[in-house]
C-alpha cells in the first residue's frame, strides 16, 4: 500500500517536472505575442478617468478569463481528436500576426489622413459616459479573445507531440499567466501617472526629489505605451516568422548560415507585406462590387 502511494507521488513529481520543462518552452514561444498583448491592452485600458481605470481594467480581466474558459476546452478537443487542425490554425494565426505587424509598420510610415477638426467641448450624462465605457470594455474583450486564441494555439503547438496530460496543464498555465501577468503589468502601467501625481503633491517644495520622480513617471507613461507598441510589432513578426519556419516543411532550416532571429523577422515581414497587399486588393475589389 505504502509503496503504491510513493509510486503515485513519484509519478506526480515526474509529471510536474515535465509540465515545468514544457512550460518554459511554451513560455518562450509565446513571449512575443504576450508582449504585443501587453502593448495592446495597455493602450485599450488607458484614456479613462483616473477613478475608473481600475474598475475598467478589472472588467476587461474578467472578460479575459471568460475568453480562456471558452477557448481552452475547444483547443484541447481539437488537439485530441483533430490534431491536424491545430497546425492549420497555427499557420493562419501566423498569417494574421504577420499581417498585423506589417500593417503597423505601414501605418507608421504612411499614416492614414485624418480630417482636422476643432475640439469640441461635449457635455454628456453619467449614463452616456457609462455606455461609452461599456463599449470600450467590449472592444477590449473582443481584442483579447483574438489574442487569446493566438496565445493558446501557439502554446498548444509547442506541446502538440506531448500527451494530453502534459498539454492541458502547460497550456492552461500559459493562459493564466497571459491574463494575470499581462493585466497585472497593465494595471501598474496605467497607474504610473496617478502615482507620479501623488509624488508631486507629496510636499510643497519645488523641484524636490519626489517632484522629479513624479514628473518622470507622468511623462514616461505615453512613452512606455509607445515603446511597448514598437516592441510588440517586432515580436509579432518574430513569432509569425517562427511559426512559418517550424511548421512549413520547405521553410524549415532556410538560410541556416544566417541567425534564425533575423530570418524569422524578415520572413514574418515579407509574408506580412504579401498578406497586406492581398487584403487591401480584396477590400478595393469589394468596394468596387458594392458601388455597382
Q: What is the pLDDT of residues 10-58, one digit of tens each?
A: 444 554 555 555 656 566 666 666 666 676 666 666 666 667 778 888 8
Altogether, the residues listed in the chain come to a count of: 292
**Cα-to-chain-centroid distance, residue 77:** 23
The total of other beta-carbon atoms located within 10 Å of residue 120's CB is 5
| Alpha-carbon distances of 49 from 13, 39, 46, 199, 216, rounded to whole Å | 48, 20, 9, 19, 20
End-to-end CA separation in angstroms for the chain: 80
pLDDT of residue 276: 94
**481605470: which residue's cell?**
53
The C-alpha cell at 137 is 470594455
pLDDT of residue 11: 47
How do the domains of the chain map onto residue ranges? 2-188+221-291
Helix 2-45 × helix 164-190 angle, to 10°: 40
The total of other beta-carbon atoms located within 10 Å of residue 292's CB is 5
Report the alpha-carbon distance of residue 178 to residue 26 in Å, rounded: 12
The C-alpha cell at 218 is 507622468
**Cα-to-chain-centroid distance, residue 218:** 25
Q: What 3-state DSSP class applies to 206?
A: coil
Report the alpha-carbon distance of residue 261 to residue 259 in Å, rounded: 6
Report the alpha-carbon distance of residue 12 to residue 96 in Å, rounded: 38
**What does pTM read for this prediction?**
0.70
Report the alpha-carbon distance of residue 52 to residue 49 in Å, rounded: 5
Mean model confidence pLDDT for the chain: 77
pLDDT of residue 15: 46
Report the alpha-carbon distance of residue 169 to residue 14 in Å, rounded: 13
pLDDT of residue 209: 77
pLDDT < 50 positions in the chain:
1, 5-12, 15, 119, 121
pLDDT of residue 18: 52
Amino acid at each position: 500500500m505504502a509503496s503504491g502511494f510513493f509510486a503515485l507521488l513519484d509519478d506526480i513529481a515526474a509529471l510536474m517536472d515535465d509540465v515545468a520543462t514544457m512550460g518554459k518552452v511554451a513560455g518562450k514561444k509565446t513571449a512575443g505575442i504576450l508582449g504585443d498583448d501587453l502593448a495592446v491592452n495597455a493602450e485599450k485600458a488607458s484614456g479613462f478617468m483616473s477613478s475608473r481605470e481600475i474598475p475598467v481594467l478589472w472588467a476587461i480581466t474578467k472578460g479575459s478569463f471568460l475568453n480562456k474558459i471558452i477557448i481552452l476546452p475547444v483547443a484541447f478537443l481539437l488537439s485530441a481528436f483533430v490534431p491536424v487542425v491545430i497546425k492549420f490554425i497555427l499557420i493562419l494565426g501566423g498569417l494574421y500576426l504577420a499581417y498585423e505587424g506589417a500593417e503597423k509598420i505601414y501605418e507608421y510610415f504612411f499614416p492614414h489622413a485624418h480630417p482636422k477638426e476643432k475640439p469640441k467641448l461635449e457635455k454628456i450624462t453619467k449614463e452616456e459616459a457609462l455606455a461609452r465605457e461599456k463599449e470600450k470594455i467590449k472592444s477590449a474583450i473582443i481584442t483579447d479573445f483574438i489574442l487569446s486564441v493566438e496565445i493558446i494555439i501557439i502554446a498548444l503547438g509547442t506541446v502538440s507531440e506531448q500527451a494530453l496530460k502534459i498539454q492541458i496543464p502547460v497550456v492552461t498555465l500559459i493562459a493564466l499567466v497571459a491574463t494575470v501577468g499581462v493585466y497585472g503589468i497593465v494595471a501598474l502601467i496605467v497607474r504610473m501617472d496617478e502615482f507620479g501625481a501623488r509624488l508631486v503633491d507629496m510636499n510643497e517644495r519645488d523641484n524636490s526629489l519626489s517632484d522629479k520622480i513624479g514628473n518622470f513617471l507622468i511623462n514616461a507613461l505615453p512613452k512606455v505605451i509607445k515603446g511597448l507598441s514598437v516592441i510588440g510589432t517586432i515580436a509579432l513578426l518574430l513569432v509569425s516568422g517562427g511559426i512559418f519556419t517550424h511548421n512549413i516543411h520547405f521553410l524549415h532550416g532556410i538560410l541556416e548560415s544566417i541567425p534564425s532571429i533575423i530570418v524569422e523577422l524578415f520572413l514574418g515581414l515579407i509574408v506580412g507585406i504579401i498578406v497586406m497587399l492581398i487584403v487591401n486588393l480584396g477590400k478595393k475589389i469589394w468596394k468596387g462590387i458594392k458601388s455597382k
